[in-house]
Amino acid sequence: MDPQHLSRLQEEQAKAVRDTEHQIKQMEEYKSDYKTLKERLRTLPDELTHDVMVPFGKFAFMPGKLVHTNEILVLLGDNWFVEQSAKQAEEIAQRRIEELNKQLNKLCAQKKLLEPRLEFTSDFQNHIKGQTGVKEIVEEYDAEKERLWDEQHKKNVRKQREAARVTQETYQPDKMETKNQNCDSDLWARLDALEKEETERRELERGDSDKEENEMDKMSLAREDRLQYETPLDRYRSKSDSDDDDDDNDGVGTEDASDDVEEDSDCYSTSDECEFAVGKDSKRPVVKTIRFTHTDTPSYQTTKSSYDEDKTIQSPADIYKLYSPASILKKTGPSQRGKLNQKKGSVKVDTEQAPSKSVGFSSDGDFRPQTKLPCAADPPRTVPTSSLKAFSGTVLETSQDEQSMVMGPKPDGNHNVNPTEEPPKRMSKFKASRMAKQGFS
Amino acid sequence: MAEGAQKRLQSELDKFQAVQKDVAKHVGLRQQLEGQLSENSLVKEELDRLQEGAGVFKMVGPALIKQDLKEAKQNVQKRIDYINGELKRHEKLIKDLEKTADSHRETLNKLQQQFQQAQVKAAAKA
């Protein structure tokens, strides 16, 4: 604040306070006058006459007498007089005193209001001078500078976003996506779906014990890759792994699980999922394995060489690559994919495929249990993001245009949901699944 | 251009000041009326307290003229009413004057801005 302005303000405030004080003084004077008058009026009627020295002009007095001591002419105001007795005059005087008191009170209150204002201003002045312990924090604002900074900031943000996008594209898309989808509800839905898959898979596993070891290997790898997203299932898995015959994965699994737990602690309510996993484990001590079946479609993404070479799922990213993100979102609805996975044969037929693993659960957001299992009645759950098809029972190896969408290779009837083996021949997935079912059953 | 603006500014300023004077005058009158009003209401109160038969005098110049109590009361009442009316009239006047003063002030500001701009231009040119 400008010290000049402050001093001016101080002046005005001081003036106001002074005026009030002046008025108060005046009132006090009036009051004392009235009091003496009252006294005089009281004593006046004591005598019939009073001997007094009457002033003559400025310098002279003359002895005289006060007569009619009880007749008082009282000025009421506005040139009105009234003749009253002394007592009555006394009363009038008393009333006037009371009026004055009221005025005085008002003035005092006013003064009380004005004085703090003055104090504040002087305090402020002191602050500016730095005399008190309080320091004024002045943040300079320059409109021009702020504008420049804004522009720079926007650029930086843009760059950052670009960088993030680039890393997302080049690295592991699914991982980024998993990071992005931070919805608990989605995760819970996924967890439920995974749970179902697990139960079904376990049943399947009973008949497929040989695959477990392979699957465990792959699973651990998958786990490592999909740390963030896989957490609940990983923990799940890790717990099941501990029960597993396969010792290799125990350490890995638990490691990963713990890693996952740590990493995802902020993402999920880890405790709940852990308990959940534990519960599951307690029921069935079967090892959870992730089996992937690959459909025999060409790889459409080249970033993962392992995937490209032998079409095996080495990492969740491979799974993701089976599903082109575009196709996932646009062409293949989750329900469709779920239906895809309903093919009975699809899940189990994978063994023929050399590297493929049979995955207990369907690909794509719809983690329906394998159709063999009685869980077929479950409504397909659609996990929102395509990338989350970590445990797709069948790795649908789809190309961008979804042509190569096929369920796991099924030698015994390719109930390939993939309706479109070739671009020209497009068949709806529902139809394909239906056909596949018919073919299978 | 600058001179013209300046002249306009000056005339506008004068008008504004005249209006402000009017406003101040009327405000002063109003305050006076207020004082009279309070005085007369006091008088009325006292007169009401008065018993019958007491002498009421009105001072006309150096002379005191006896008045009837009732008459005095009525007179005072009339005076009070008159003062109230005057007060309202003055208030209205003040409001109107203030409005004109505000409008003058605005035009004054505008002119000032123009004048400043003109000055700046002149300075830039020069």
pTM, two decimals, is 0.43
Pick the CATH number of B1-124 from 1.10.1740.10, 3.90.10.10, 1.10.287.370, 1.10.10.10: 1.10.287.370
Contact B43 A81 (CB under 8 A): no
Q: B39 to chain A: which residues are within 8 Å by CB?
A: 77-78
Nearest CA in chain A to B58: A80
Cross-strand partners of A66: A50
Q: How many Å apart are CA B33 and CA B82, to the nearest integer?
A: 10
Tokens of A235: 């923990």
- The residue of chain A nearest to residue B79, with distances taken between CA atoms, is A78
B86 confidence band (pLDDT: 50, 70, 90): very high
Name, in order, each residue with C-beta under 8 angstroms of A225's C-beta and a sequence gap of 6 or more: A172, A175, A315, A316, A317
Task: State the pLDDT at residue A235.
Answer: 54
For residue A428, the model assigns a pLDDT of: 86
Query: Is B40 in contact with A78 (Cβ distance < 8 A)?
Result: yes
Q: How far apart are CA A142 and CA A145, in angstroms?
A: 5
- Chain B nearest C-alpha distance from A123 (Å): 34
**Mutation target among A78, A83, A88 for the B interface, most CBs of B within 10 A:** A78
Is-contact A387 A325, C-beta < 8 A?
A: yes
Give the separation between CA A154 and CA A231, rounded to whole angstroms: 35
Mutation target for A interface from B37, B41, B57, B74: give the one with most A CBs within 10 A: B57
A100 touches chain B (CB under 8 A): no
Query: Which tokens belong to A406?
Result: 């096929």
User: What is the DSSP secondary structure assignment for residue B24, as one 8-state letter?
Assistant: H
Q: Kindly give the parts of chain A with pLDDT less than 70.
A: 1, 130-134, 136, 172-183, 208-285, 296-311, 324-393, 395-424, 440-441
Three-class SS of chain A: CCHHHHHHHHHHHHHHHHHHHHHHHHHHHHHHHHHHHHHHHHHHHHCCCEEEEEEECCCEEEEEEECCCCCEEEEEECCEEEEECHHHHHHHHHHHHHHHHHHHHHHHHHHHHHHHHHHHHHHHHHHHHCCCCCCCCCCCCCHHHHHHHHHHHHHHHHHHHHHHHHHHHHCCHHHHHHHHCCCHHHHHHHHHHHHHHHHHHHHHHHHCCCHHHHHHHHHHHHHHHCHHHHHHHHHHHHHHHHHCCCCHHHHHHHHHHHHHHHHHCCCCCHHHHHHHHHHHHHHCCCCCCCCCEECCCCCCCCCCHHHHHHCCCCCHHHHHHHCCHHHHHHHCCHHHHHHHHCCHHHHHHHHHCCCCCCCCECCCCCCCECCCCHHHHCCCCCCCCHHHHHHCCEECCCCCCCCCCCCCCCCCCCCCCCCCCCCCCCCCHHHHHHHHHHHHC
Task: Sketch the domain layout of chain B as residue ranges.
Answer: 1-124
pLDDT at A294: 74
Beta carbons of B42 and A77 less than 8 Å apart:
yes
Query: pLDDT at residue B83 above 90?
Result: yes
Whether the pLDDT of residue B98 is over 50: the answer is: yes
Phi, psi of A294 (to 5 degrees): -105, 135
Which pLDDT belongs to residue A354?
Answer: 41
Could A79 and B54 be called an inter-chain contact, meaning their C-beta atoms sit closer than 8 Å? no
Domains by residue range for chain A, with CATH: 3-107 (1.10.287.370)
